[in-house]
Structure 1
Amino acid sequence: MMQREVPQIFDAHAQGLARVRAQRRMAKTGPSFLLERCTQDAASRISDINRQFTRGVLLCDVDMREKLFAELPNNRRPNTMEWYQDADSLSGDYDLIISLLGLQSINDLPGNLLQIRNALLPDGLFMGSLFGGDSLLHLRQTFYQIDQALFGGATARIYPMINHEQAAALLGQAGLNLPVIDKDRVNVNYSKIQTLINDLRDLGLTNTLIARHKSRLPKSSISLIEAAYPKSATGKFQVLFEILWMTGWSPHDSQQKPLKPGSAKKGLAESLREIRDKKP
């Protein structure tokens, strides 16, 4: 059986340095507002599920379990909740796995999701957030303009990100049932581009691409970005963070199954005729 070739997109050493710097920054200033938002959102989603989870695990660069538990009602808090930075540390037999803003920077995302699926008990829940393809769109376009002017062509500066359809396909490939993908579009107005850069550093989202340009932007790069970046009517720099939420369940016989093609007892045309002919 041929092994699947894993694309090498991210520089592991550079990622490690970015992660350490992000943890140091968070130790001083607290978690990123986007990470806090995702933690609150995860708690809200768990609260809506009629299930008392027993053994959960949080996958995140920083330990957000205290924040997560503070947002959960008592009857929705897992009996135990572990924390790891990546799926390689999972031991298995979990009925809940939550991943917060880490999946967008993994070389082997299909393999990572398969690891998560294999670590779940039957009918266990996976819930993960990651940045989607519309994130940082204006910044991506601005870098393109600057690189064209300075280097004569585009360079790799912002991560490639998946879209809604790709996220759904990945859940299916991992063997997770009842997949659901939804979006949280967060629009932020910045007065300074440096503040945006600091927020990205808080999340470890500096350029760790293997294909990144080895030449650094000049010291005047902030001024160049601010000059080229489109501004709102109030002079702010508008930034979109598109957060995709992926939800799927480990297979179990009790789960609802889609009907096979042609197995429905009534066709659409027949149903419409019944509605039309129904007497008041």
Structure 2
Amino acid sequence: MSSEAERFWNPTNFTRNNFSSSSVVIFDRKAKLLQRERAANLQEVHLYDYIKEEIGFRLADRIKDIKRKFNRVVDLGCGRGHASKNISPDSVKELICSEMSPTWLEQVTCNEGMKVSKEVLDEECPKFEENSIDLIMSNLSLHWVNDLPGLFEKVRTSLVKDGVFMASVFGGETLYELRSSLQLADLERRGGLAPHISPFIDVRDIGGLLNRAGFTMLTVDTDEMVIGYPSMFELMWDLKGMGENNAAFNRPLHLGRDVSIAADAIYKRLYGREDGSIPATFQIFYFIGWKPDASQPKPLKRGTGQISLKDLHRLDEIVKDKKEISLEDENTKK
């Protein structure tokens, strides 16, 4: 760990007292910091950016769909700036890049034309003033957060009214091929299971968590990337280079040679392609939520609709006719 990372890491800041009473501490945040620092110091670190680069571009592109210019934007858990580098100064005046890995943060580059600042900050415990930020975004980082309900609440509090929370996160089907192959290999070689792959969030939980935190006008959509690798070993090597190796507290510290060889054979047997390569699935959830504000559109009260669903076949006629059509009278004549 670098000297700056050691200064940043203070165990008293990352205790269970920072979490809600209902949260369960699953991930070792200190281990994740070490993994990110090691990944950041690789000689050819850019070779492992291909997934985060693509998803970061797609996430940043969604900011352009919101027709407004944001005064202050935070990229929470920005990594090496995979999303920040694609943010246009036409959409953002001030960008704050925050990341727990100091070395990753140093490697962030952004477009000119907007004010950019960098802050070493654990995305699990963000500390921003209330009602001070217009947009908080996060690219493929939230799946390592222990207390998502608490984080979502802190994000909502930090946003101004009608502020936006936008993020991408790995979904539950991510690396299902690798997970099942390692499980079968464990059963065969050791007669039990070990958590080699960290758990991921399910799409049904995201909407519930956002609602619970008080966000409105929610949108969640799913994407999927399937990437081919020569074998399981190249996949695991790339995951380590991305800083995405397992950080669960109950993870096994070592993967035995017998288990890894067996898992590779099982992987190729169950999922292998005709050319000898293997596929690895990455499921990505994109979501957006808004902090409530009186200016936001609201649904009409029940019973105020003027068109019945049973008359949808007459919608073109209703729209073309400038006069009001009494649907009840016409149904009565029939």
What's the TM-score once normalised by structure 1's chain length? 0.88
In the alignment, does 2:107 pair up with 1:68?
no
Q: Which runs of 5+ in 2 are unaligned?
A: 1-19, 100-122, 322-334
Q: CA deviation at 1:198?
A: 2.1
C-alpha distance in 2 between matches for 1:6 and 1:239: 30
2:33 to 16, 19, 22: 16
User: Equivalent residue for 2:14?
Assistant: none
Decide whether the 8 Å contact of 1:19 with 1:61 is kept in 2.
no
Decide whether the 8 Å contact of 1:63 with 1:83 is kept in 2.
no
C-alpha distance in 1 between matches for 2:242 and 2:181: 21
What's the TM-score once normalised by structure 2's chain length? 0.74
C-alpha distance in 2 between matches for 1:195 and 1:259: 54
What are the superposed Cα offsets for residues 113-164 of structure 1, whole Å, 9 maximum, x if unpaired?
Answer: 1111111111111111110011101111101101111221222121211222
1:48 to 29, 53, 65: 65
Decide whether the 8 Å contact of 1:87 with 1:116 is kept in 2.
no
Residues 152 and 267 (structure 1), Cα distance of their counterparts in 2 relative to 1, 3 Å cut: same
User: Equivalent residue for 1:98?
Assistant: 137
In the alignment, does 2:253 pair up with 1:238?
no
SS of the aligned residue for 2:257 comes to coil
What are the superposed Cα offsets for residues 72-124 of structure 1, whole Å, 9 maximum, x if unpaired?
Answer: 44422x11101112152342311011111111111111111111111111111
User: Equivalent residue for 1:89?
Assistant: 126
Of structures 1 and 2, the one scoring higher in RCO (CA 8 A, sep 6+) is: 1
Count of paired positions: 272
SS of the aligned residue for 1:195 comes to helix
C-alpha distance in 2 between matches for 1:226 and 1:163: 27
Q: How does 1:152-231 map onto structure 2 within 5 Å?
A: 152-213=191-252, 216-229=254-267, 230-231=271-272
Residues 87 and 250 (structure 1), Cα distance of their counterparts in 2 relative to 1, 3 Å cut: farther
Residues 58 and 222 (structure 1), Cα distance of their counterparts in 2 relative to 1, 3 Å cut: same
Residues 273 and 152 (structure 1), Cα distance of their counterparts in 2 relative to 1, 3 Å cut: same
- The sequence identity of aligned pairs, in percent, is 30
What are the superposed Cα offsets for residues 215-253 of structure 1, whole Å, 9 maximum, x if unpaired?
Answer: x32234443222010201221110110111111111111
1:272 to 312, 320, 326: 312
SS of the aligned residue for 1:242 comes to strand
Q: Which runs of 5+ in 1 are unaligned?
A: none
C-alpha distance in 2 between matches for 1:21 and 1:197: 15
**Aligned-pair Cα RMSD in Å:** 2.4
SS of the aligned residue for 1:51 comes to coil
C-alpha distance in 1 between matches for 2:80 and 2:32: 18
